[in-house]
A and B are shown apart, each in its own frame.
Chain A
């Protein structure tokens, strides 16, 4: 089975500081897509950032950026200038390429707490 692993069950950070959440995955494909989703206590799943494996440039979205290491099969999320509203569960997910539908494989999640 092709898996996604988040090795940090919980992380905490002080407001305005930077935190990095790690994610590794297993795949035999060359083309695929990676995502980070945020799930606050409201339970809503919110797309934070996405990366296409064939693109070498790391994706960025405002305070969120990724460090995509294709050879190492690593896809970490960096949150800069952390805010209280960033407190949530964060899920890393992978989607196979070559298919046109959203069958995602999710990691177990990392609970992030931002302290004032």
Chain B
């Protein structure tokens, strides 16, 4: 049973380019979360999605960032016109919907390290 798969593992973009980060949740998981980890900091929540729906995007920057989780295919975090401050590790996590969903653990991917030059 494959875990949460993120690709690419490393992504280098020049300022002004677009970055697309992909996440395939664990099999059977329909809840996807994106977190960002800046250097020397803990993870910060960005967005929570279910299939075709954004449920909570309270941690997303207002501009240039968007996320989707289509009916078919992986979840995508898209950053337009990247700037140096976007350099970070971006983690995707998934969870299953269970009867006691409050303590369902998050399963994290290995992250995508974005470097903006």
Report whether A104 and B102 are in contact in the complex, using a CB–CB cutoff of 8 Å: no
Expressed in whole angstroms, the Cα–Cα distance for A41 and B108 within the complex equals: 15
Is the interface on chain A under 10, 10 to 19, 20 to 34, or 35 or more residues? 20 to 34
Apart from the given pairs A37-B108, A99-B102, 11 other A-B contacts in the complex at a CB distance below 8 Å: A33-B103, A43-B110, A45-B108, A45-B111, A50-B103, A50-B105, A91-B42, A100-B101, A102-B33, A102-B95, A102-B106
Residue in B closest to A31 when the chains form the complex, CB atoms? B102
A residues with CB within 8 A of B = 4, 33, 35, 37, 42-47, 50, 52, 91, 93, 95, 97-109
Contacts of A45 in B (CB 8 A): 43, 91, 93, 108, 111
B residues with CB within 8 A of A = 31, 33, 35, 40-45, 48, 55-56, 89, 91, 93, 95, 97, 101-108, 110-111, 113
Cβ-defined partner of B103 (8 Å) among A4, A44, A52, A107 = A52
